[in-house]
Chains A and B, each alone.
Chain A
Amino acid sequence: MNKNYLLPLDEAAYNFGFLDEYAKKEIRRALLKAISIPGYQTPFASREMPMGKGFGTGGLQITLSIIGVGEKLKVIDQGADDSVNAVNLRQFIEMTCPGISGTEDTERASLIQSRHRIPETPLRKDQVLVLQVPYSDPLVVVEPSESKRKTMHGEGDYSRLLTKLYEDIVKYDEITISHRYPTRINGHYVIDPSPIPRFDVPKMHMSNALILFGAGREKKVYAVPPYTDATPLAFDDVPFRIEDFRDENGKRRVCRRCGADNSFLEESINDAAGLKLHQCSDSNYCNRRLSLSGPARIGAEEGGI
């Protein structure tokens, strides 16, 4: 997509934000319901978007219906602002919403649409995070019938989901769910928090920012309102744990670029030497640290950049 190409909105008769006002209104009403009933999967009339379902149409529709002139938008995919998917989505929104500005800076953004990550920089109460969701119902793995799942949600019966955790511990001595970790919101509904890693799950708990979830294909939106309890499912004696980033010596691995020892790390293999490299998955967080302190020295001994 050409960044300089401006969609002739008037000529094409496209509305601000691509969706017509009625569509946006319908989605906003669904969002209000979702926020009022934390964790409840609210159905909405998912529209056809000019991209395939599965590319974040749920998150996109939420963003387009709540975005306004003057908004500062950040779009990330797996933590990166510059991946193809993130760039395309951001350009599409910029194109269809004249008067907003894009940014990569988490702190400057007022609206963040994300796939697979919650940014490392703590969010503020004036920010809104929109997460793209492929599968909206955490119970789908144990119950194929939607009407039965609704009953289970309504009665707060998550025994079969917990049984899955039980089976995990029996087989592997720990809960092996790496992402989409079932999390109970406000003491009742359990949600599928989209494919964020376990590392990000605690960030939803008592979050300052409003977190909205949109599943375009599943036609569902749900929300974790600010300052709401979010408890990952676990057993009293086998508590929820985030990913273990310690190396074989028990030392916390750090980012090879910025040296952060408190961020979610991505692992890649250095083709030449076959070494494992670790670096921040949140590119903006990493870059900001770099610009503040200069490159880290640790990277060198791991094989260099």
Chain B
Amino acid sequence: MKKILEIRGLSKVHGHKCPLCCDFTGPKHDTNICRHCNSIVAIHDISLDLYEGEILGIMGESGSGKSSIVKTIFFDEIPTDGDALFFDNNEQYSLFTINAARQRWLRNHRFGMVYQSPHLGLNFSISAGGNIAERLLMSDLFHYGDIRKRALELLSRTEVPSERMDQSPGKFSGGMQQRVQIAKALATRPPLLLLDEVTSGLDLSVQARILDLILEIQRDLGTAMIVVTHDLGVVRLLTGRTIVLKNGRIVEHGLTDQVLEDPQDAYTQQLVASAL
């Protein structure tokens, strides 16, 4: 198996950042606000590997820094420290040192992101098909007929009825908005897909449909994914490996079934025990 992403020592601090930030925050202190300088340590010293075609889970409660990890990978946030290597075909990109244009290119062509809120991932002022067309038009496809065909393919893969293609996603249900987001993220056939709480706030049957879709995509396209969630059920059903985050630190990582059935860390044990 080939490695696709390698992250080492990733940190993100909001605020002034003082030399004591790291010592005063973390699971031991049960906070991520430095009591010395009031900076917020969103994540600290995160290292992880992702291999081709695998789904990695990032689990933790609200405010544990889960989203910050995927947001820095997707260049939505600038990390304070750390390195990330992305391996793509025969190329290798050091995500945080390449120039902004290169970053945007990767973001537009090689990464896909599905946000918790469809507002962040979709443009509601244009149609569902237009949202997908926009991503296709970034990658030098200038044939209207081909663009429509491809958008239709993607929407039918994500089970959005073709007759709704030309409507604004603002008129769609929450579940369908997420499916349009997934279709959009997949438009450029990215080898890496980032999913940030995509099923939160949806009812159970809709959740199941989206989880099913995600697994199908992994199986058919071999897309590597990072799934951020606070839902143990989602982690169990989707991921092979999981890391558990608390106060911006990794407290445990392992095979998903092992983390859920034989958690080693006190916090993970508490998290698993308190699940419904």
* 5 sample A-B contacts, Cβ–Cβ < 8 Å, listed by A number: A155-B101, A155-B104, A159-B137, A170-B130, A235-B143
A266 contacts partner chain B, Cβ-Cβ < 8 Å: no
Chain B: minimal CB distance from A124 (Å): 34
User: Which residue from B101, B135, B142, B166 sits with its C-beta under 8 Å from A235?
Assistant: B142
Cβ A237 vs Cβ B144 within 8 A: yes
User: Which residue from A151, A154, A167, A236 sits with its C-beta under 8 Å from B126?
Assistant: A167
B133 contacts partner chain A, Cβ-Cβ < 8 Å: yes
A166-181 interface bits toward B, Cβ cutoff 8 Å, 1 = contact, 0 = none: 1101110000000000
A270 contacts partner chain B, Cβ-Cβ < 8 Å: no
User: Which residue from A166, A236, A237, A238 sits with its C-beta under 8 Å from B130?
Assistant: A166
Cβ A162 vs Cβ B137 within 8 A: yes
- Which chain B residues numbered 109 to 166 have a C-beta less than 8 Å away from chain A? 126-127, 129-130, 133-135, 137-138, 142-147, 166
Cβ B144 vs Cβ A236 within 8 A: yes
Cβ A162 vs Cβ B130 within 8 A: no
Prevailing SS type, chain B contact patch? helix
User: Which residue from B100, B101, B133 sits with its C-beta under 8 Å from A163?
Assistant: B133
**Chain A interface residue count, Cβ-Cβ cutoff 8 angstroms:** 18
Cβ A235 vs Cβ B134 within 8 A: no
Cβ A163 vs Cβ B144 within 8 A: no
- Which chain A residues numbered 146 to 199 have a C-beta less than 8 Å away from chain B? 151, 154-155, 157, 159-160, 162-164, 166-167, 169-171
Chain A positions near chain B (C-beta within 8 angstroms): 151, 154-155, 157, 159-160, 162-164, 166-167, 169-171, 235-238
Chain A: minimal CB distance from B141 (Å): 9
Cβ B127 vs Cβ A167 within 8 A: yes
Q: How far is the CA of A155 from the CA of B103 in the complex (A)?
A: 12
Which residue in chain A gives the minimum CB-CB distance to B105?
A155
Prevailing SS type, chain A contact patch? helix
Cβ A166 vs Cβ B101 within 8 A: no
| Chain B contacts for A154, CB-based, 8 A | 101
Chain B positions near chain A (C-beta within 8 angstroms): 100-101, 104, 126-127, 129-130, 133-135, 137-138, 142-147, 166
| Chain B contacts for A160, CB-based, 8 A | 134
| Chain A contacts for B130, CB-based, 8 A | 163, 166-167, 170
User: Which residue from B101, B104, B138, B142 sits with its C-beta under 8 Å from A236?
Assistant: B142
Chain B: minimal CB distance from A140 (Å): 15
| Chain B contacts for A169, CB-based, 8 A | 144
Known contacts A235-B143, A237-B145, A238-B144; is-contact A170 B134 (Cβ 8 Å): no
Cβ B104 vs Cβ A166 within 8 A: no
| Chain B contacts for A164, CB-based, 8 A | 126
Q: Which of A159, A162, A163 has the most CB of B within 10 A?
A: A163
Cβ A163 vs Cβ B137 within 8 A: yes
Which residue in chain B gives the minimum CB-CB distance to A238?
B144
| Chain A contacts for B134, CB-based, 8 A | 159-160, 162-163
